[in-house]
Amino acid sequence: MRTVKKRVSSQLLALAGISGVGISGGRLTVYLEDDSEVMRQAVDKVVRNIAPGVPVLFVVTGKFHAQ
């Protein structure tokens, strides 16, 4: 899963509305600023093109801010 994360992270983080990318429970975890079907479809498209069949967990976190 780490390899998949490395392969998709740059493309996912380039999408407006993605706060972060991680791994949780054996799934690729995508942290969203706001939840929307359009954003989920955009993420699914990127993941399908690079790593078909990889399960994705969406977590709505809001925007991350440096402390």
Q: Phi/psi of residue 62, each to 5°?
A: 80, -175
Percent of the chain clearing pLDDT 90 (strictly above):
88
The pTM of this model reads 0.89
Q: Tokens standing for 40?
A: 């989920």
More confident: 62 or 14: 14
Residue 11's pLDDT band (cuts 50, 70, 90): very high
Domain span at residue 53 reads 2-60
Residue matched to tokens 């780490």:
2
Q: The domain that contains 13 carries what CATH number? A: 3.30.70
Q: Is residue 52 part of a domain?
A: yes
35-54 per-position pLDDT tens digit: 999 999 999 999 999 999 99
